[in-house]
């Protein structure tokens, strides 16, 4: 899943980006309201962490513009002060939650997961593809009852495939969920991470299939009509 962090303070922003990436999120960060408004028009995100007091354009103004575009993207407002006037202004503009700084990391992560879970309320608490399971509340994968140990980008790809289980997910969609604004998107990298995931799923009844020219699909092996493409033996960190 991909988050946008809008935070002016570089030290706090760096700390939050590191924290969220450890939680298997892809994170973009911008430092002012105008930049946030611009990127929200061109990029897809699953949630926004939005500072209230920003240069160039306030957090409330960014939020109001977002809602005027009829975009229901979840927004968690952050502010150094928790005045009633600020809270009322944010919720009136369309905020989904409000967090006062300084905050405990456990509370921040709990609120993020709660907003994501609310967005996925139409999905079951646990999704399954054969013996591969995914918890929508914790975003954790398991094979049978054993946790699946995945790297961040492997997790992001498998998450996208699981949430669209049975449907083709294009390589472009996977690239958008995998790479941030400060990273160079790589189509070849997707093939490498798919290769790694197939190794993780070698003993699972779930299978990732390649549909040439279309993308990838996650299915139960017995239901598969196509054989996966042979993978190269790449070597890449991530």
Domains of the chain: 2-119 (3.40.50.2300), 126-223 (1.10.10.10)
Secondary structure (3-state) at 66: helix
> Is residue 79 scored above 60 in pLDDT?
yes
Q: How confident is the model at residue 163 (pLDDT cuts 50, 70, 90)?
A: confident
Q: Which of 186, 199, 201 is nearest to 142 (CA)?
A: 201
Strands (E), 72-166: 75-79, 97-100, 126-129, 132-135, 141-143, 146-147
Q: Which of 177, 173, 181 is nearest to 39 (CA)?
A: 181
Check residue 122 and give its pLDDT: 54
Q: Which has more pLDDT, 238 or 212?
A: 212
Centroid of chain to Cα 229: 27
CA distance 57 to 167: 39
Q: How confident is the model at residue 235 (pLDDT cuts 50, 70, 90)?
A: very low
Q: Which has more pLDDT, 47 or 137?
A: 47
CA distance 234 to 197: 13
- Give strand pairing partners of 135: 126
Check residue 55 and give its pLDDT: 94
Considering Cα of 90, then 91, then 95, then 100, what sign does the dihedral take?
A: positive
CA distance 170 to 183: 19
> Is residue 238 scored above 50 in pLDDT?
no
Over range 91-97, report the average pLDDT.
95
Q: Residue 229 has which token pair?
A: 């493409």
Q: 50: how many CB neighbours lie within 10 A of its CB? A: 26
Q: 135: how many CB neighbours lie within 10 A of its CB? A: 14
Q: How confident is the model at residue 68 (pLDDT cuts 50, 70, 90)?
A: very high
For the chain, give the mean pLDDT: 88
> Is residue 144 scored above 90 in pLDDT?
no
Q: 108: how many CB neighbours lie within 10 A of its CB? A: 19
CA distance 110 to 133: 21
First to last CA, the chain: 16
Check residue 124 and give its pLDDT: 63
Check residue 230 and give its pLDDT: 52
Q: How confident is the model at residue 208 (pLDDT cuts 50, 70, 90)?
A: very high
Centroid of chain to Cα 178: 8
Q: Which has more pLDDT, 5 or 233?
A: 5
Over range 105-127, report the average pLDDT.
80
Q: What is the pTM of this model?
A: 0.79
Over range 108-127, report the average pLDDT.
79
> Is residue 67 scored above 50 in pLDDT?
yes
Q: Which of 58-62, 173-177, 229-233 has the lowest mean pLDDT?
A: 229-233
Percent of the chain whose predicted confidence (pLDDT) is above 90: 65
Check residue 39 and give its pLDDT: 95
CA distance 29 to 10: 10
């Amino acid at each position: 899943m991909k988050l946008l962090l809008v935070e002016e303070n570089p030290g706090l922003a760096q700390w939050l980006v590191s924290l969220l990436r450890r939680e298997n999120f892809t994170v973009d960060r911008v430092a002012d309201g105008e930049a946030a408004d611009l990127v929200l028009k061109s990029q897809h995100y699953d949630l926004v962490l939005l500072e209230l007091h920003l240069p160039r354009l306030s957090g409330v103004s960014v939020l109001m513009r977002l809602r005027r575009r009829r975009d229901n993207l979840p927004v968690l407002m952050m502010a150094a002060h928790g005045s009633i006037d600020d809270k009322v202004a944010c919720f009136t503009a369309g905020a989904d939650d409000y967090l006062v700084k300084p905050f405990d990391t456990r509370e921040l992560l709990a609120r993020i997961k709660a907003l994501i879970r609310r967005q996925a309320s139409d999905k079951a608490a646990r999704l399954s593809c054969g013996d591969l399971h995914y918890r929508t509340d914790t975003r954790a994968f398991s094979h049978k009852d054993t946790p699946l140990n995945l790297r961040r980008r492997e997790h992001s790809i498998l998450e996208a495939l699981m949430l669209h289980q049975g449907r083709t997910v294009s390589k472009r969609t996977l690239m958008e969920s995998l790479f941030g604004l400060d990273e160079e998107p790589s189509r070849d990298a997707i093939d490498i991470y798919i290769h790694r995931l197939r190794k993780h799923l070698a003993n699972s009844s779930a299978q990732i299939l390649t549909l040439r020219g279309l993308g990838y699909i996650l299915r139960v092996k017995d239901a598969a009509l196509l054989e996966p493409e042979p993978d190269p033996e790449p070597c890449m960190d991530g």
